[in-house]
Structure 1
Amino acid sequence: MIRILLAEDDRVMREYLTRALERSGYAVSAVDRGTAAIPLLENEHFDLLLTDIVMPEMDGIELAQRAGEMVPDLRVMFITGFAAVTLKAGKQMPQARVLSKPFHLRDLVLEVDRMFEKESATGGL
């Protein structure tokens, strides 16, 4: 089963995304800030880091950079409601996907599905 680490500081959004992804067959561990994600990355295996960009203590871009150093093959998807932040994320982590808020849950699940369909179609490329 594909494991997702979700870092989202908004409790309602975090619960909403967790439920949608779990209903779609993903295993989700959710935290409320980037600093809470680091110990999980050290001790557990995840296939995807799904993170809000604007969060207290450690923003999603810094989290993704630290996660990439710890787990080089970890995929990253950012979610954000700020256009300027989207541009910054694209420059600093060009391999990451960015999904802008507001989005429909169906769109999020489709994007996650696409990230892993590509892997299965190419034999884990």
Structure 2
Amino acid sequence: MGKILLAEDDNDMRRFLVKALQTAGYDVAHFDNGLSAYHRLREEPFELLLTDIVMPEMDGIELARRATELDPDIKVMFITGFAAVALQPDSQAPKDAKILSKPFHLRDLVNEVEKMLQQAA
């Protein structure tokens, strides 16, 4: 199935997300900060960037902006407790990014990921 790049600084949340996505059949590369995730994006293509917004070293909005500069076709989904930040017009978040507000059920995450990746196909 699809290749997903996950950037989430909360270790427990990242572990749960990786397990849920891998169980659903996705290939997941995961990082605990935006800068490390960005370096990986420069090395290989991914179909979906799944990122928290508030992270050390590089926040999720900056990561998403840079990711779409590298690959305009990459899908972006923010997972955050700060949805209002991503929705501000001056945030420079990619226009068609999906926002999933914490807390959410892992099944909802997998369903949203499936929908986004089917649109790409």
Structure 1 length as normaliser, TM-score?
Answer: 0.89
Are the structure 2 counterparts of residues 89 and 102 from structure 1 closer, same or farther at C-alpha, using a change threshold of 3 Å?
farther
Are the structure 2 counterparts of residues 89 and 79 from structure 1 closer, same or farther at C-alpha, using a change threshold of 3 Å?
farther
Structure with larger Rg? 1
Contact preservation (8 Å) 1:21, 1:109: yes
Report which stretch shifted further, 85-94 or 23-32. 85-94
Number of aligned residue pairs: 120
Secondary structure of the structure 1 residue equivalent to 2:103: coil
Q: Which residue of 2 aligns with 1:44?
A: 44
Structure 2 gap segments, 5+ residues each: none
Q: How many angstroms apart in 1 are the aligned matches of 2:35 and 2:95?
A: 22
Q: Deviations over 1:55-93 (max 9, x none)?
A: 111110000001111111111000100243242379632
Q: How many angstroms apart in 1 are the aligned matches of 2:116 and 2:89?
A: 18
Secondary structure of the structure 1 residue equivalent to 2:5: strand
Q: Which residue of 1 aligns with 2:24?
A: 24
Q: Which residue of 2 aligns with 1:6?
A: 6
Contact preservation (8 Å) 1:61, 1:89: no
Structure 2 length as normaliser, TM-score?
Answer: 0.92
Report which stretch shifted further, 23-32 or 68-77. 68-77
CA RMSD between the two structures? 1.6
Secondary structure of the structure 2 residue equivalent to 1:56: coil
What is the deviation of 1:101? Answer: 0.3
Q: How many angstroms apart in 2 are the aligned matches of 1:89 and 1:25?
A: 34
Matched-pair identity in %: 59
Contact preservation (8 Å) 1:81, 1:101: yes
Q: How many angstroms apart in 2 are the aligned matches of 1:8 and 1:81?
A: 12
Secondary structure of the structure 2 residue equivalent to 1:69: helix
> Structure 2 matches for 1:40-79, cutoff 5 A?
40-79=40-79
Contact preservation (8 Å) 1:99, 1:108: yes
